[in-house]
Chain A
């Protein structure tokens, strides 16, 4: 294990995001989007060999498939995961996904559906709620947000609650809000919703980022988690695995300007 000296912010985030699946045993894992997918692959190749990944279509694979054109890489299949079985896995709670919503609020609710106050005539139609309502009430979800700002982490409530959270007003009377939120990994920090009464608390700040800076970029109050630290730098071994999982460098396009992992002090 050699701590890397030279790495990008995207690589730091991938390593931090992989931690979401530590201890997940043989759960079905879906990393949606390049960074979550590379992170899931990294977790499987290192400390979480049991997690089940697909080829992005309908088959479980022994080794994570690299992003983009595969060259000599030939997937080895070890299971079948058509959408019907995805739903079975979701509804039985045997899955942990990492997703990238457009809006997240203080209640841990998230939106990918549409923007604007009128759902009948949205200002911006996005993806629809897709599987988020079912995912979020049935299994654990982590999130990756590449732009930590108040448009993403909104001050009020998200426009459309696609992914459920802890706002009692959205739940039927007598039903206790139930959401299982894992890590929220952003370009500034890692946080979760495991503070008192599901409050957001910062677990680690990326190198060169201050807590005040994160708070300033967030539309709701954040707490400092006990033992809040600096997000760990990748090791050379992790970087080597990341390169095999992303041979065409898609990760260099995820964050604007592909900044270095250690920011110059503000």
Chain B
């Protein structure tokens, strides 16, 4: 049975109020084509869990977010996500601001079906004050150490952008860092991937290639062919992040009705016209990968 879907049919499976995980890291490998499809939909009251980049700002700007659970929201060389900042400073969203590592542990706990994972991370910090739902426990062993019991972060669905996928849900994700896509996938148990390319089979004679396989097909419920689907974030090794576009996006936040103008220019017309609205495929494919 093929798992191939369309952006629209994936978004049709999402529901108001769901808790949705976003793969990637900051301005890297975000499932932006699906995010834009959500922006075009009437989905609302979402809880979004992420190492956030521009997808968070866009979802906040469009009023899709009720609650945000994040390790950070940043576009790296542009440290502050402007629409996220606006939403925070307006007090418009509930937030669970965690240590980056808490997010990892919470997702891992969810994936392993345990209620929490103990850690020192958080003790002595404002994370414990700003998130009174986080509890401490005492080690049952001789050391008796007091630790944070980082609770599982259960997700209803996770959206990932991968390099290559087949219709059975096998995926390859290229790039220097897999980030925590695997943990987001397992914490949801239900993953929709967009792929730079969908092929008949990802199979290879070289077992080394399979180190780029991050998640088992039993987790993958839908595969969408979405070349350039991470733009304006980076998709290794197809294209880098689009810094000029991100700067224009940031600038829009300072303008009156800036979000509406951005939405009309790039999103309202659908994915078919998206690439053309941001300079065209050839230009995107020449975007350099980041050099830090």
Query: Which A positions have Cβ atoms within 8 angstroms of B?
Result: 55-59, 65, 68-70, 82-84, 87, 90-91, 113-114, 118-134, 136-138, 160-165, 170-172, 174-175, 177-179
Contact = CB atoms under 8 A, between A and B. Distances in A.
A59 B176 contact: yes
A-side interface mostly: loop
A160 B95 CA distance: 15
Contacts of A120: 91, 95
Interface in B131-183: 136, 146, 176-180
B290 A57 contact: yes
B219 interface: no
A130 B72 contact: yes
Interface residues of B, number: 43
Contacts of B100: 87, 130-131, 134
Given A119-B126, A170-B129, 15 more contacts: A57-B290, A68-B291, A113-B97, A121-B90, A126-B80, A127-B72, A128-B74, A130-B100, A131-B100, A134-B99, A134-B120, A136-B124, A138-B120, A161-B129, A175-B124
Interface stretch (B9-17, B38-46, B81-89, B246-254): B81-89
B99 A91 contact: no
B101 A164 contact: no
Contact of B121 (A83, A127, A138): A138
Contacts of A138: 120-121
Contact of A177 (B84, B102, B104, B124): B124
A172 B136 contact: yes
A178 B178 CA distance: 32
B123 interface: yes
A131 B99 CA distance: 5
B291 A161 contact: no
A165 B84 contact: no
A128 B178 contact: no
A125 B120 contact: no
Interface string B8-42: 00000000000000000100000000000000000
B70 interface: yes
B146 A175 contact: yes
Given A57-B176, A121-B90, A164 B124 contact: yes
B71 interface: yes
B122 A133 contact: yes
A65 B95 CA distance: 37
Contacts of A162: 125-126
B71 A128 contact: yes
B80 to A, nearest CB: 7
B177 A83 contact: yes
A171 B176 contact: no
Contacts of A163: 125
